[in-house]
Structure 1
Amino acid sequence: MKTLVIRIAAPLQSYGDPASFEKRTTFRAPSKSAVIGMIGAALGFRRESDDYKSLNDLDFAVRVDQPGEVLSDFQITHYSLKKPGKLSHRIYLQDAVFMVALSSKQDALMEKIEYALRHPKFQLYFGRRSNPPAGILKMKMCPDKTAINVLKELPWQASVWFQRKYKKDVFNARIYADAKLVPDRPNRLIKDAVGSFNQKSRYYEYRSVAEDNVFLENSNYVQRKNTDHDIWASI
């Protein structure tokens, strides 16, 4: 078994929470379908391809290293100058950092995915075309480890400025994973398995997910000095 860990960081990200055209919200972490879509783009799959479905079998887990801030964007879309525009309210995650772990017993497939992400056929983005990665993807291949084990052993990968700003020496990171990877945790169904990315008949199927957590050391933690001053103590 091989596990590929990918650092997902960008100024803006947005992940497929079910939404109407008028209001498009987002999950608080990368969805499996969004990551599969990115891998498919790197491999050169067309939207109409059925090859995406085979990637649903990859074990998937994501760790929230830097939650980011919610950003709301109001847009007006014009299809014709003769008709009134349509209103659109879109939600993004700003300055967020996630660690995504993908694993499979098919070592050749994992190596192919890693190579493709380093040499993508199509443009990579995080959820929407307006959300490109913040530079070259940072990745690491970990042999003989499950996706959950890798995320629980990996040091905190938040931005240095965020680690310095964080006022505790330990960060409690949430993990969202395929339910089979954390069988001792309660699970729930979400519509996040790829059915088709075809724009004429796009659809998603249900998959079971569970939540876990891990405590990560903040190596940039600096204990604040006590600046409280009691002027009456000197009297």
Structure 2
Amino acid sequence: MKALVLRLDAPMLSFGTTAIDHLGFTDYFPGTALLTGLIGNALGWEHRDFDKLQRLQERLRYAARWDIRPVRMVDYQTVDLGQPKMAEAGWTTRGKPEHRTGGSAKKETHQRYRHYWTDGLMTVVLTLLDEEEPDLNQIAQALRRPSRPLFLGRKSCLPSRPLLDPHTPIVEGEDLLEILRRVPRWVRSVGKDSRRHTGSEDLLPACWPDEIGTPSEIRGELKRVFDLRDWKNQLPAGSRWRMEGVIDVKESIEVN
């Protein structure tokens, strides 16, 4: 099996999950739809390319781990949509202006709470089922030179570095969990007093496909997640099972 190695490093990350009214929560790990949209954005696909996005989502498999555990942050946001400036078109990463619609609701004051992860560093290894296009090499090239700016969940979550691992962008292994445990852990080069940021923990939080199971030497449990999307109708749609637990990684690399 071949897998791409991504390093998600950003001041803020948001992986989305079930939203309740004005509360926008974030999952602890990225979801299948999020990674599908990230790749589709890098490839230059648009919302109307829903057949491509749906097929990519069906083919995508991944495992992820926190090399440096993040800190949760809740951002309180309020906006008066009745201001004259809010009637103007908003910016997008698609190169086209976005106009607001929505009747009287677009003129009210809105309040909401958005959850983020801060100061974390994550490694993701992902692969694709079946030999179709796009393949891993095409996705790797798109991540090196994306068609549009990329963000990790929300538009405010801009990556601090290129997403593709600069040294081993593609790795081969038995399965995604084996690859994830073998890929070196990244730790930041910071002062000796900032132990949380150096990544000194022996066991790292991780998730991986449920079909792999849990080897006897590591701890894991089955969890149901709601991270699939109906790309044609632009709606959350469906759930799946994944394994979550803690894993050990023997090799570490210090990065700036």
User: Do they superpose with TM above 0.5?
Assistant: yes
Q: Which runs of 4+ in 1 moved over 6 A?
A: none
Q: Helix, strand or coil: the match of 1:70?
A: strand
Give the letter for the 1:129 counterpart: K
Distance 1:136 1:208, change over 3 A: same
Please tell me the residue identity of whatever aligns with 1:131: C
What whole-Å deviation, never above 9, does each CA across 1:24-80 have from its counterpart, x for those lacking one? 111122222211110010111112322111222222111111121111111112222
Contact 2:143 2:164 in 1 (8 A): no
Q: TM-score normalised to the size of structure 2?
A: 0.76
Counterpart for residue 35 of structure 2: 35
Counterparts of 2:120 and 2:237, CA distance in 1: 25
**Offset from partner CA, 1:141-186 (integer Å, 9 cap, x none):** 0134422111111222132338961599652112112211226654
Q: What pairs with 1:72-221 in structure 2 (closer than 5 Å)? A: 72-81=74-83, 83-104=107-128, 106=131, 109-139=135-165, 140-161=169-190, 165-166=195-196, 171-182=202-213, 186-196=221-231, 201-217=234-250
Tell me, yes or no, if the aligned pair for 2:224 and 2:242 is still in contact at 8 Å. Answer: yes
Distance 2:136 2:75 in 1: 36
- Larger relative strand fraction: 1
Per the alignment, residue 9 of structure 2 pairs with 9
User: Shift in Å at residue 21 of structure 1?
Assistant: 4.6
Amino acid at match of 2:195: K
CA distance in 2, matches of 1:172, 1:186: 15
Q: Distance in 2 between matches of 1:99 and 1:195?
A: 26
2:69 and 2:199 in contact (8 A); partners too:
no
The 10-residue stretch of structure 1 (106-115 or 83-92) with the greater mean CA deviation from structure 2 = 106-115
Instruction: Report the aligned-residue RMSD.
Output: 2.7
Residue identity matched to 2:240: R
Rg larger for: 1
What is the CA–CA distance in structure 1 between the aligned matches of 2:191 and 2:40, rounded to whole Å? 32
1:165 is matched by which residue type in structure 2?
R
TM-score (normalizing by structure 1): 0.82
Aligned length: 219
Letter in 2 for 1:95: D
Q: Which runs of 5+ in 1 are unaligned?
A: 221-235
- The code of the aligned residue for 2:55 comes to S
Q: Which amino acid aligns with 1:55?
A: L
Single out whichever of 46-55 and 121-130 deviates more from structure 2: 46-55
The residue type paired with residue 47 of structure 1 is H
Q: For 1:29, what is the secondary structure of its paired residue?
A: coil
* Residue aligning to 1:44: 44
**Cα separation, partners in 2 of 1:8 and 1:162, compared to 1, 3 Å:** farther
SS in 1 for 2:170: strand
